[in-house]
Amino acid sequence: MSTYAAPLRDMQFVIKELVGLADITAMPACAEVSEDLVDAVLAEAAKFAAGILDPLNRVGDKQAPKLVDSTVITSPGFSQAYRQFVEAGWNGLSGEPEYGGQNLPHVVSMPVAEMWNSANLAFSLCPMLTSGVLQAMKLKGSPAQKHRFLRKLTTGQWSGTMNLTEPQAGSDLSAVRTRAVPQGDHYRLHGTKIFITWGEHDMAENIIHLVLARTPNAPEGVKGISLFIVPKFLVREDGSLGERNDVKCVSIEHKMGIHGSPTCVLQYGDGPGAVGFLVGEENRGLEYMFIMMNHARLGVGLEGVALAERAYQHALEYAKTRVQGRAIGQKSGDRVTIIHHPDVKRMLMMMKAQTEAMRALAYTASAALDKAAHHPDDTERRKNQAVVDFLIPIVKGWCTEQGVEVASTGVQIHGGMGFIEETGAAQYLRDARITTIYEGTTGIQASDLVGRKVGFEKGATAFAIIEVMRKLDGKLAVVKNGDVAAARDHLRRAVDGLTTATQWVVDTFPANPQAVAAVSVPFLKLWGVVGGGWLMARAALLANSKLAGADADFYRTKIATARFYAEHVLPQAAGLVRAVTGGSSSVLALGEDQF
C-alpha cells in the first residue's frame, strides 16, 4: 500500500510559475500573502494529509459510518482527525478574518484541498461542503444570520450541508416539494431530502443545513424555490446550542465508493416541522444555491485531479516493485519490474500527463476566481468572472471524467491485483465514480456549457480564451527545442479544431438546441482536452527557459510530459471535433424503439 506524498513541486510550479501567484499577491486584498507563507502552508498541509488523513482512507472504506438511533457514528479515527483538522485551523483557510478565517486566496486553498481529497476523499467532503455553505451565507445571509452562524462554520466547530435532492428531484430541481410554512420570524419545514453528504455525523457540535423548499403559494418550477438555514441544534441568541431541531437522519446509503462519508436520507418535520430561517428573499433560493453549487462544482472537479494523482502514485509504486517478464528482445537474464515495459511506461505517463494538465486547468480557474473577487479594476474583475463561469463546467465535467479514466488505468497497471481490493487501487476508481454524477452530472455540466456559457453569449468568452491560446503559438514558434516544437504542432491543429467546433455550437444553438445538446458532452471534453494541452504547452515553454538553472530535472520532465500529452492526448481533439460537428443527427434520428 503506497503512502500519499503531496506533489508539492508540481503544485508550486503551477501556482507560482504557470498561473502567476505574483499577480494574485499584487492585489491589495491579497498583499499579506507571500511566497514563503504559501510554501509553509503547503508543506504543513502535506504533512497533515499524509500523516493523519491518508492512513484513515482505507479505514473509512472498510468500516463505513453506522446509523444508531438517528445518530451517525463515523468511521474509527474520523472524529479525532476532524478535531485535529479544526484545531490546526485548516477549516478556516480561506474564511473571512472577521469570523476567524485566514483569508488565503483560492490559488492557495485549492492545492491544499487537492491534498485533502487525494489523501481521503470521503473525509474531505465534510469541510468542502462547509466551505460552500460559508460562500453562500457570506454573500446572501443577513447580518444577524452571519453573526449567528459564520464564526463556528468558519472554524469548523460546526459543519455545513447542501440539501437539494429529493426522490423525484435530482437533475431537475424544479420538482422540489419540501414545504416551508411561515411562522413568526421563521418557517417550519416538512419533507424528505435524499443523498445528503455528511447530513448527520458525530464529528462537529452542530450541522447547518442549507435547504431548498417551497413556501405556500410559491410559483411552480424553479422560480418558486426558496433557501433556508436549518440547524441540527437551534442556536440561542448568545450562540450556545439549544434544543434539537425537527430534522433527523432516517437512513444512510450503501454505496460503491466514498464509504467513509455518510450519505443520508434526512426527514424534515416528523413532528411540528423543522425550524428554518429564510436566506435572502423568497423564491430566489436556486439562484443563491448556485453560489454554493458553483463553488462545489470547482471543488468536485478538483476531486477528479486529486484521485488521479493518488491513483498515479499508487500505480507508480506498484510498477517499480512488481517483477514480470524480461525486457523486449531479452531471452535470458534477470526478469524486470513492469515499469520497464513500454506499454506500462505509456500508461504511467498517460496518468501523469492527464493529471498535470487537469491540475493546471483547475488552478487556472482558481486564480481567475481570486481576480474576479479582488482585482482593483472592475473590468478585470468582470473579465475574470466570465472566465470562471466558463471554466466551471469544464473543470467539473472533464476533470472528473478524466479522474475516472486515470483511476481505471491505475487498476490496469496492477493487472489482476488491481481488481483485488487488498491492493487499494480499486478504491480510487470506486471513489472517483461518483464525481461525474454529484453536483450535476457530466451531461448537466455540458448542457450548461453549450447553453449559458457559449450559446447565449454567442461564444464571446470562448473565443476570447481561444485567442489567448493562439497567442501562445508565436512564443512557441521561436523555441529551439524539438519537444516543444512537437507540442506546438499538435496544439495548433487542436486549437483550429476547437475554433471550428465552437463556431458550430454558436451557429447551431439558436435554431437547433437539440442538435447541440446531442453532442454537448464531446464538446465539453474537447474543451478539456485542448485547454489542458494549451496549459501543458505553456508549461513546456516556461520549463524550457529554466533548463540551465536549478531543478533542471523537474523542468526536463515537465517538457517530456507536455510532449507526451501533445502526442497521446491532444489527437483526441480531432475525433471530438468530428463528433461535435457531424454527430448530432445520428443521435437525434434515434427513436426509443431502436434501443
From the list 164-172, 482-490, 503-511, 557-565, the region that binds ligand FAD by CB under 6 A is 164-172
Residue ranges in 560-579 that form contacts with ligand FAD under rule CB under 6 A: none
Kindly tell me which residue out of 15, 108, 164, 319 binds ligand FAD, with binding defined by CB under 6 A. 164
User: Residue 196 CB, nearest distance to ligand FAD (Å)?
Assistant: 5
> 242: part of which helix (H) or strand (E)?
strand 241-244
Q: Of these residues, 96, 439, 467, 592, which one is catalytic?
A: 439
**Rounded to 10 degrees, what is the CA torsion of 141, 144, 148, 149?**
0
**Residue from 25, 117, 163, 544 in contact with ligand FAD (CB under 6 A):** 163
Decide: is 165 part of the binding site for ligand FAD (CB under 6 A): yes
Does the protein bind ligand FAD through residue 434 (CB under 6 A)? Answer: yes
How far is residue 311's CA from residue 182's CA, in Å, rounded to a whole number?
Answer: 49
Site residues for ligand FAD, window 440-459 (CB under 6 A)? 440-441, 443-444, 447
- Pairing mode, if any, of strands 274-278 and 233-235? unpaired
Label residues 347-373 b or e (16+ Cβ within 10 Å = b): bbbbbbbbbbbbbbbbbbbbbbbbbbb
**Identity of the residue, 104 or 434, whose beta carbon is nearer to ligand FAD in the bound complex:** 434
Residue 89 touches ligand FAD, criterion: CB under 6 A: no
Residues 6+ apart with CB under 8 A from 585: 515
Subset of 16-45 contacting ligand FAD (CB under 6 A): none
Nearer to ligand FAD, 167 or 219 (CB): 167
Neighbours of 553 (CB within 10 A): 10
Which residues lie closer than 8 Å to 486 by C-beta, 6 or more apart?
A: 563, 566, 567
Q: How far is the CB of 362 from ligand FAD (least distance, A)?
A: 20
Q: Which triple of cell numbers denotes residue 124?
A: 474531505
Is residue 170 a contact point for ligand FAD (CB under 6 A)?
yes
Calpha distance 28→267 (Å, rounded)? 46
Dihedral sign, Cα of residue 43, residue 44, residue 46, residue 51: positive
Interface positions, 189-218, toward ligand FAD (CB under 6 A):
195-197
Rounded least distance, CB 113 to ligand FAD, Å: 17
Q: Is 439 a catalytic residue?
A: yes
Q: Which of 156, 87, 166 is nearest to 126 (CA)?
A: 156
Phi, psi of 408 (to 5 degrees): -70, -40
| Of positions 162, 388, 535, 579, contacts ligand FAD by CB under 6 A | 162
Size of residue set near ligand FAD by CB under 6 A? 20
Gyration radius of the chain's alpha carbons: 24
Q: Should residue 513 be labelled a site residue for ligand FAD when binding is judged by CB under 6 A?
A: no
Residue whose entry in the numeric block shows the C-alpha cell 491518508: 54
Distance CA 297, CA 293 (A): 6
From 113-121, 158-166, 540-548, 575-583, give the range in contact with ligand FAD by CB under 6 A. Answer: 158-166
Least distance between ligand FAD and beta carbon 258 (Å): 6
Residue nearest to ligand FAD (CB): 170
- Which residue reads 468500516 in cell numbers? 63
* Contact with ligand FAD (CB under 6 A) among 16, 83, 255, 284: 255
437 binds ligand FAD (CB under 6 A): yes
Residues contributing to the site for ligand FAD (CB under 6 A): 162-165, 170-171, 195-197, 255, 263, 434, 437-441, 443-444, 447
- Positions annotated as catalytic residues are 439
